[in-house]
């Protein structure tokens, strides 16, 4: 028997969870999902980004990841609600708990989506589609929000299937359905094709997934390097990655880069370190682990190299903490000479449920920081790294490190 893989995705997760909470626990009559509404950043200060939007809001052209002022221009009457990260974690836990009643092979991909390997358990409930409908309807009945379920023989096709039409749907996308269901879609809809890659492909005359699938893979690889090979495989429905209940733990995570020009001031160095901390933090959180040591390495223009590391008071996966530690290490290390290369590396990896040790007078709101990281990770995973960018990185050559040297040891 071939594999049966599900991808389950909560429809407009943050907004749906907020809507259910308001309806069921606050007794409100208006359903946020049925009006032009969105979950946004700092609403009082009128800045921040759109973290989730309703389907009616989407009809105004509002997109996840755009700024609140941009969204307001498109829909002046847009109803905005602040994020509630504690609520989202509880809803996510309840969602995952239901999925694990149907399979012992569940891989949580993000706070609001997961893969399930149903190969050995599907026969207990019915066909693939019947079981998917059963799970979808149970989540709606017990938890009050809707999901889409994609059904196929591998993770890539299951994920593509769950995105076909929303909300509250079950879609199949088996290999024999690729040409009719997936190939006509815009190339930007393919998983792993972000905005920058989509623009590149379109400039090469490739506008649909089908055109990408029928392109010469060697040519794609020559232009897009390793990514060209990957997206060609995905366009043809090729994916051999297993559903992993828990990925193996790496020994450490790091990223480094050679700067476009020699760095000679502390502010520029800080921006480079922040960009590196973001990529390292994203990888750590994706593997559901934490780290407790941070090291910074500096290679000067004369090619001499210095490095220093420190052990944190408690393990972390927060971008802000990694950046703060790296900044302190850099301040101790840098002698003022021009910098050619900077790197951040981390180690002492722990399981994600390791209990945080707090210092007596530490007033940091770690829950809020974790929620912000989770929200940004979720948006970037769905829409690409360009979907959310710090204001400090705008018009800077080091805002993202697509060609930086990254490591997971």
| Strand segments (E) across 153-221 | 170-172
Token pair 């920081």 in the structure block, residue: 369
Query: Whose structure tokens read 């909300």?
Result: 167
Write out the DSSP string of 88-153.
HHHHHHHHHHHHTTT-S-EEEEETTEEEEE-TTTGGGT-SHHHHHHHHHHHHHHHHS--EEEEEES
Q: Which of 18, 66, 107, 113 is catalytic?
A: 113
For residues 307 and 298, is the Cβ–Cβ distance under 8 A?
yes
φ and ψ at 28, to 5 degrees? Answer: -75, 155
Mapping DSSP to helix (H, G, I), strand (E, B) and coil, where does residue 300 land? strand
* Separation between Cα atoms, residue 377 and residue 67, nearest integer Å: 16
Handedness of CA 76, 82, 85, 88 (dihedral sign): negative
Please state, as a whole number, how many other Cβ atoms lie within 10 Å of the Cβ of residue 232.
21
Give the separation between CA 280 and CA 323, rounded to whole angstroms.
10
CB atoms within 10 A of CB 313: 14
81 vs 40, 43, 73, 362, CA distance in Å? 6, 8, 17, 29
Assess whether 113 carries a catalytic annotation.
yes
Please tell me what DSSP assigns to residue 294: E
Calpha distance 258→82 (Å, rounded): 39
Q: Which residues contact 93 (CB under 8 A, 6 or more apart)?
A: none
Q: Which residue has the tokens 């223009």?
A: 301
User: Quick one: tokens of 4?
Assistant: 């049966």
Task: Read off the tokens for 276.
Answer: 């590196």
Helix axes of 266-286 and 319-333: crossing angle, nearest 10 degrees: 140
Catalytic residues, which ones?
113
């Amino acid at each position: 028997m071939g594999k049966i893989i599900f991808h389950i995705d909560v429809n407009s997760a943050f907004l749906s969870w907020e809507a259910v909470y308001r309806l069921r626990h606050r007794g409100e009559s208006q359903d946020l999902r049925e009006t032009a509404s969105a979950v946004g950043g700092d609403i009082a200060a009128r800045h921040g980004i759109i973290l989730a939007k309703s389907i009616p809001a989407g009809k105004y052209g509002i997109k996840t990841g755009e700024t609140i002022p941009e969204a307001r221009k498109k829909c002046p009457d847009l109803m905005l609600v602040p994020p509630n990260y504690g609520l989202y974690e509880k809803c996510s836990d309840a969602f995952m708990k239901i999925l694990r009643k149907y399979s012992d092979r569940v891989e949580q991909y993000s706070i609001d989506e997961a893969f399930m390997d149903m190969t050995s358990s599907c026969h207990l409930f019915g066909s693939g589609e019947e079981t998917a409908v059963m799970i979808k309807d149970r989540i709606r009945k017990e938890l009050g929000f809707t999901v889409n379920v994609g059904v196929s023989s591998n993770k890539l096709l299951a994920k593509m299937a769950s995105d076909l039409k929303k909300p509250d749907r079950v879609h199949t996308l088996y290999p024999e359905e690729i040409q009719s269901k997936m190939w006509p879609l815009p190339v930007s809809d393919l998983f792993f094709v972000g905005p920058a890659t989509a623009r590149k492909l379109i400039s090469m005359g490739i506008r649909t997934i089908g055109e990408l699938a029928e392109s010469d893979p060697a040519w794609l690889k020559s232009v897009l390097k390793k990514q060209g090979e990957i997206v060609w495989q995905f366009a043809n429905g090729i994916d051999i990655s297993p559903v992993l209940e828990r990925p193996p733990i790496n020994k450490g995570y790091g990223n480094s880069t050679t700067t476009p020009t020699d760095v000679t001031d502390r502010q520029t160095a800080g921006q480079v370190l922040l960009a590196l901390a973001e990529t390292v933090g994203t990888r750590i959180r994706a593997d559901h682990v934490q780290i407790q040591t941070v090291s910074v390495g500096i290679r000067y223009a004369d090619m001499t190299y210095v490095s220093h590391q420190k052990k944190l008071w408690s393990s972390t996966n927060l971008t802000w903490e990694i950046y703060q530690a790296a900044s302190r290490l850099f301040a101790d290390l840098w002698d003022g000479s021009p910098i050619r290369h900077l790197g951040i590396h981390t180690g002492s990896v722990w399981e994600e449920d390791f209990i945080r040790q707090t210092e007596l007078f530490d007033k940091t709101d770690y829950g809020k920081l974790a929620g912000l990281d989770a929200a940004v990770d979720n948006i970037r995973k769905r829409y690409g790294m360009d979907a959310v960018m710090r204001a400090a990185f705008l018009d800077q050559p080091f805002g993202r490190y697509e060609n930086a040297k990254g490591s997971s040891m």
